[in-house]
């Protein structure tokens, strides 16, 4: 799993010794951000103290994003819409720590935070990554050991100007996973090449969505269409899911629930679709899933 970016440092925090740039007493490797009165004038890679190529951020390549580059020095209040010099800000904001280390690189469009990266203290190890591509919206969080603790990817339809589905995974210390699947979540497979982290320690998008080496403990399902039901059925069959929440429950879920029950399902929380009522579900539960707790 690639979860490292670059150590970003304000150029004024670098010290030249014997012709090499040092940070915190060590020849610097990373990205130097050159500023004048809060405005970024250039960005360069530095390798073992030697300035190299121009740095371009991994975000939107729109010209305006890369022309308006500033630091917190020009920001009076970090509220949205973000205002800079009495104008709504569109561009990239760098937030340096007191020692010159840059803790975040965030893209704003019309004052609203759209994309960004934040880092764990004084390291190139990502803490959070949020990025939009032509067909996706993505958010990730990483622990200090580099493991992915939050993975959220949504396919996006620009004609409809909305997400068509969503997959969210949140892990905890005991290596169990909470997963949320919404609407046409399988659409993300078609846009795998746009996903920044398509393969992590418990998930891969290689030729489909695959979970491995982790147990899904809790599963949230929202308005799942028929074409995605087989995938959910396979999750029920291959995992030991203890809690399932279904928004848009209908009779199509009854048989899959039998499978989940045989694999250890303990609790079901439902929001009904219009073609089914509580009595029908409870009658089914009493017949086939006698120990299942149902919440409505």
Q: Can you give the residue ranges of every domain in the chain? A: 1-113
What pLDDT shows up at residue 174? 66
Residue 147, token pair as written in the block: 């493991």
pLDDT of 226 reads: 95
pLDDT tens readout for residues 206-257: 989 999 889 999 999 999 999 999 999 999 999 999 999 999 999 999 999 9
Please give the average per-residue pLDDT across 125-151, as a whole number.
94
d(CA 70, CA 87): 13
pLDDT, average across residues 169-197 = 92
pLDDT level of residue 176 (50, 70, 90 thresholds): confident
What pLDDT score was predicted for residue 151? 97
Q: How many CB atoms lie within 10 A of CB 172?
A: 10
pLDDT score at 244: 99
Is the pLDDT higher at 161 or at 35? 35
Contact 103, 119 (CB under 8 A): yes
> What is the C-alpha separation between 296 and 160, in angstroms, rounded?
32
3-state secondary structure of 60: coil
Per-residue model confidence as pLDDT tens digits over 71-113: 999 999 999 999 999 999 999 999 999 999 999 999 999 999 9
% the chain with pLDDT above 70: 99
The SS3 assignment for 13 reads helix
With a cut of 70, say whether residue 173 has pLDDT above it: no
Q: Is 1's pLDDT higher than 70? A: no
pLDDT of the residue at 2 = 60
Of the listed ranges 60-74, 169-183, 186-200, the least confidently predicted one is 60-74
- What local confidence, expressed as pLDDT, does residue 289 receive? 97
Q: What is the mean pLDDT of the chain?
A: 93
DSSP class of residue 99 equals: T
For the segment 109-134, the average pLDDT, to the nearest whole number, is 94
Rounded Cα distance between 179 and 166, Å, is 10
- Tens digits of residue pLDDT in 246-265: 999 999 999 999 999 999 99
Phi, psi of 65 (to 5 degrees): -65, -40
Q: Convert 41-75 to b/e letters by CB count within 10 Å (16 or more is b).
A: eebeebeebebeeebebebbeeeebbebbbbeeeb
């Amino acid at each position: 799993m690639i979860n490292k970016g670059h150590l970003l440092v304000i150029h004024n925090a670098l010290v030249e010794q014997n012709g090499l740039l040092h940070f915190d007493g060590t020849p610097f490797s990373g990205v130097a951000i050159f500023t004048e009165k809060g405005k970024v004038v250039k960005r360069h890679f530095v390798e073992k103290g030697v300035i190299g190529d121009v740095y371009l951020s991994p975000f939107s390549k729109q010209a305006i994003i890369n022309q308006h580059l500033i630091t917190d020095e020009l920001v009076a209040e970090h509220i949205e819409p973000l205002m800079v010099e009495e104008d709504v800000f569109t561009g990239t904001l760098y937030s340096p720590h007191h020692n010159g280390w840059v803790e975040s690189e965030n893209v704003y469009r019309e004052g609203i935070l759209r994309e960004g990266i934040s880092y764990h203290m004084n390291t190139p190890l990502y803490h959070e990554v949020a990025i939009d591509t032509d067909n996706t919206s993505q958010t990730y969080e990483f622990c200090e050991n580099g493991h992915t603790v939050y993975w959220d990817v949504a396919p996006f339809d620009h004609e409809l100007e909305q997400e068509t589905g969503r997959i969210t995974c949140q892990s905890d210390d005991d290596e169990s996973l909470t997963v949320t699947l919404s609407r046409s979540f399988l659409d993300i497979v078609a846009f795998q090449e746009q996903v920044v982290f398509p393969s992590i320690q418990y998930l891969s998008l290689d030729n489909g969505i695959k979970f491995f080496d982790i147990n899904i403990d809790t599963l949230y399902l929202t308005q799942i269409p028929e074409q995605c039901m087989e995938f959910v059925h396979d999750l029920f069959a291959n995992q030991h899911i203890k809690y399932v929440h279904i928004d848009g429950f209908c009779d199509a879920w009854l048989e899959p629930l039998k499978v989940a029950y045989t694999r250890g399902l303990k609790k079901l929380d439902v929001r009904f679709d219009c073609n089914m009522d509580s009595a029908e579900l409870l009658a089914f539960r009493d017949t086939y899933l006698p120990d299942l707790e149902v919440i409505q």
